[in-house]
Amino acid sequence: MRNIDLFNLHVAEVLGSCYESFPVRVDIKYEDLGKNVHDRYTSGFDEELFYNAQEYEELAAATVNWLTDAGYLWIGKKVYGSVKNVTLTPKSLELLNATPQALEMTDSMGTILADGSKTLGRETALSVIRSVLSEGAKLAFSGNI
């Protein structure tokens, strides 16, 4: 699996978790985040998703940092191996409340990620996250954020 797909699956986990608990802030442990991605999106033994704890943490931390830098998350505090008091920004809440027309679904993208996080298939998660990030990029480039 390509690194961008692993990144997108981590984004799905983070945004789904934050959306599900919104407006209550969540704590995210990098190792747990990486393990959740591995456990939820691997079918059988997938060597490409077989990582050790250090690799879990590295990709999870990089994903959370990118989401914060790109304006999708607000972080209360960074501590070793995790972030505390994480919540969605208005930008990400608006995007996650949108209904993905291209996917022909009636639920919002946030609802799909939050409710389906335990059963959501890899391709559906990737498709939803690509839509969210694409719409976010359109907002950024149009100057609406």
**pLDDT value, residue 109:** 61
| pLDDT (tens digit per residue) in 80-108 | 999 999 999 988 888 777 665 544 555 66
**Domains along the chain?**
3-140 (1.10.10)
Burial of 76: CB neighbours in 10 Å, binned 0-12, 13-18, 19+: exposed
Instruction: Provide mean pLDDT across the span 103-129.
Output: 61
The whole-angstrom distance between residue 46's C-alpha and the CA centroid of its chain comes to 21
Q: How far is CA 16 from the centre of its chain?
A: 6
Give backbone dihedrals phi and psi of 79, rounded to 5 degrees, phi first: -130, 170
Q: What is the spatial distance between Cα 37 and Cα 49, in angstroms, rounded to a whole number?
A: 9
Weakest-pLDDT range from 6-10, 71-75, 106-110, 138-142: 138-142
Give the list of residues 6+ apart from residue 61 with CB closer than 8 angstroms, or none: 30
pTM equals: 0.70
Cβ distance 13 to 33 under 8 Å? yes
What digits encode the pLDDT tens for the residues 9-57? 888 889 989 989 999 999 999 989 888 887 777 665 555 555 555 677 7
Contacts of 23 (CB under 8 A, 6+ apart): 87
